Structure 1
């Protein structure tokens, strides 16, 4: 399968799909949906085996964030998403397309760490929530200002540093040990790095 025929294609058409990218194949949509279920299952297992003391509202928020981050991490790496988000907005995509196809606006909408801090560890809304958000946006800015041929390794450098900080620097909010590293993969590599979008030949 390594040398299976494929072609680079930037053109797409169809009903706007801001999740998997317009024109995603069935395999691409299946990968995205399947991955979106993994982290919520882990969160449910953690919540049922550890005494977090979460309310039903907190559990619902945790599951929604897990679905978004886990699914988005894989979705943003899809060829269909690379094709969709790294081409100019089309008229059919409306104002939402203009907003979401702007990389800084897309990245800045991911206030997940601030939300987690406010709802699960309010005393650390600044030292956890804001610091992680600032690091995410700094990484976005650095990658976007890096020459294209170095963007992918630069994004992985940011992910490496974020993972180490998550382990040895900023203590995670209990139950969200996964959040910062996966969020950096989703946004800093998955969404920001422009790569050639392949289609099956």
Structure 2
């Protein structure tokens, strides 16, 4: 589980950087599809935790798969000025569902919040332009 945690932390930090956001959200044919395919590939990570670590918990795995795919599609097709609030809504929904309807052992309670943070908030939300400001 330590390796999974380190992988998630590395993914959060990497996907949250401006350079990663510029790369994944560049104006290129198929860029939206590539972002959604990246999220889809993460289903293997989700399945590994649900099926191997949680002993084959199909309800947890399928529930989180549905949450991830539905939130990713909503964020992916939302206008750019609404992507951040849409991602936050999906992240909040996933957090609540995982707290109350898809519980896991306390030692794994960190997984779903970090997983959804990485994908919904860090990966699918584009870079916001930095404003020029003067520090006084």
After TM superposition, the score normalised by the length of structure 1 is 0.57
Q: CA-to-partner distance for each residue in 1:131-190, whole Å, 9 max, x for gaps? A: 212211111001111111111011011111111111111112453211111111110111
Within the alignment, does 1:67 sit opposite 2:6 as a pair?
Answer: yes
The Cα shift of 1:88 comes to: 5.2
The Cα shift of 1:121 comes to: 2.4
2-side partners of 1:167 and 1:72: how far apart? 23
- 120, 123, 128: which one pairs with 1:188? 120
- 56, 62, 78: which one pairs with 2:17? 78
Structure 1 counterpart of 2:95? 163
2-side partners of 1:84 and 1:197: how far apart? 14
Higher RCO (C-alpha 8 Å, min separation 6): 2
Q: Is the alpha carbon distance of 1:79 and 1:168 closer, same or farther for their aligned partners in structure 2, counting shifts above 3 Å? A: same
Give the aligned length. Answer: 128
RMSD (CA atoms): 2.3
2-side partners of 1:196 and 1:117: how far apart? 34
The Cα shift of 1:114 comes to: 1.2
2-side partners of 1:197 and 1:106: how far apart? 24
Structure 1 counterpart of 2:134? none
Structure 2 counterpart of 1:116? 49
Structure 2 counterpart of 1:134? 66
2-side partners of 1:74 and 1:64: how far apart? 15
More helix as a share of residues = 2
After TM superposition, the score normalised by the length of structure 2 is 0.82
Largest Rg, 1 or 2 = 1
Structure 1 counterpart of 2:39? 107
